[in-house]
Structure 1
Amino acid sequence: MRISELAARAGVPLPTVKYYLREGLLMPGRATSATQARYDDTHVRRLGLVRALAGQGLPLDRIKVVVALVEQPGDDLFAALGKAVAALPPYVDDPPDADHPRARALLERIGQSYDPRFAAVAQLERALVALESAGLTMSGRRIDVYDRHIRAIADLEVDMLPMNSRHETVEAAVLGTALYEPVLAAMRRLAHQHRAARAFAASPDRHPQNAGDTTTQETEAP
């Protein structure tokens, strides 16, 4: 297909496609003349990847990191996945040897093995600090329930990764992390609404802590 057909099929404006070509985010087509080239389904797929990442707010330099890892994941697939996930937000600029005491304590509680240099460790530390700043805590009960269900989600997602090629594995892992997380967040909020509607249906004005209930209430936010 010609570049105009590629743009139409991918749903990306032609000037944007040309920009991606100049920046190296989209691989060149097969040259048919000095000024013409042909493109195929691999280009459509790459545009879908770039568009999806850009839609999640990734800056150009981070998209380039992901694209480079998809093209050349290397022999260590585990390391490639770690680098790709590190290119996704939220971004934390902690040095590789930084200590993350809150994250470490939480991960040790649930018995989870981890690489302390993995970006998600610093992200977890930052999230726990934000909780403390707001006067909230992660109770043992909350940690244990989160852990149980998050591991089930992780097991499913890793089992569903395509293993036909390293390129497909890295691409699916990055896209899955970037695009399924908003789905999980939205479903969690909808579950809160559903659960609250059931809990307060009998008496909409009744607040659980003001209804004479003498049981101990957890004082964390939902």
Structure 2
Amino acid sequence: MRIAELSRQSGVPVPTIKYYLRENLLPPGELTSPTQARYDARHVQRLRLIRALVDLARLPIATIREVLREVDQPDPVLHYVLGRAMKSTLTPRGQVDPATLATAERAVDEMIARRGWRISAEAPARQAVAEVLATLTELGVGDLGDALDEYAEAAEQIAEADLAAVGTRENPEELVYAAVVGTIIGERLHSGLRRLAHENASAARFAPPAESALAEPC
């Protein structure tokens, strides 16, 4: 297909496609003349992945280039490909008291050790969780963090379900695309399900028996 058809199938404007070509994010097409190239379904798939990384993950071009470099390795290790993509979607905020944060970081490290999780030292999520715990402490509800292990157990089940859903994809591009979309859009799914579960738990715990079925939404 020509670049105009590639644009139509992918939904990406021609000038943007040319920009991705210049930035080496999109492999060049097969030259059919000095000024013309032919593209195929692989280019459509790559554009879909790039747009997910740009629009959903909101990654800078330099980071996207690193992710795609991992994807394009001759024999990519899917764990590392997925790790590169997912680590890039979460950036710690760094807006809490350093002393409180240090205490929270120790709590997170201890939880990771207790559960035997294999987590890299530079994982942004480690810092993000610590910042949440520190913020809870600063807001006077640090006891909510006492249930960290229970939350971690639920997170394990969610992670297993997530990766089971995307793990059937052996193509690295398809795996990264599904993981990025599933993780970012899935956050809304998890949040919605949690609120439904909160309403149910609230009705069971706090509502009078005769009113529990008609409880106001949480």
Shorter-chain-normalised TM-score: which range? Answer: 0.7 to 0.9
Question: Residues 125-182 of structure 1, C-alpha deviation per residue, up to 9 Å, x if partnerless?
Answer: 2332232233332547632432232211212222331353455444543443344334
Deviation per CA, 1:108-133: give whole Å up to 9, x if none. Answer: 34443433333322222233223223
Q: Post-superposition shift, 1:49?
A: 0.9
* Residues 168-177 or 57-66, more deviating: 168-177
Relative to total residues, which structure has the larger helix share, 1 or 2? 2
CA distance in 2, matches of 1:50, 1:5: 18
| Matches of 2:92 and 2:65, distance apart in 1 | 16
What is the percent sequence identity of the aligned residues? Answer: 36
Does 2:135 align with 1:130?
A: yes
Q: Does residue 1:184 correspond to 2:190, yes or no?
A: yes
TM-score (norm 1): 0.72
Q: Distance in 2 between matches of 1:138 and 1:26?
A: 49
Contact 1:53 1:63 in 2 (8 A): yes
Return the TM-score normalized by structure 2. Answer: 0.73
Task: After TM superposition, list the pairs within 5 Å mapping 1:92-111 onto structure 2.
Answer: 100-111=105-116
Structure 1, 192-201 or 54-63: larger mean CA deviation: 192-201
Task: Provide the C-alpha distance between the structure 1 equivalents of 2:196 and 2:64, rounded to a whole number of angstroms.
Answer: 31
SS for the counterpart of 1:24 is coil
Question: What SS does structure 2 have at the residue aligned with 1:37?
Answer: strand
Q: 1:119 to 1:109 in 2, by over 3 A?
A: same
List alignment gaps of at least 5 residues for structure 2: 95-101
Q: Distance in 1 between matches of 2:146 and 2:93?
A: 28
Quote the residue 1:18 is aligned against: 18
| Change over 3 Å in CA distance of 1:180–1:65 after alignment to 2 | farther
Gaps of 5+ in 1: 94-98, 208-221
* 2-structure distance, mates of 1:8, 1:75: 30
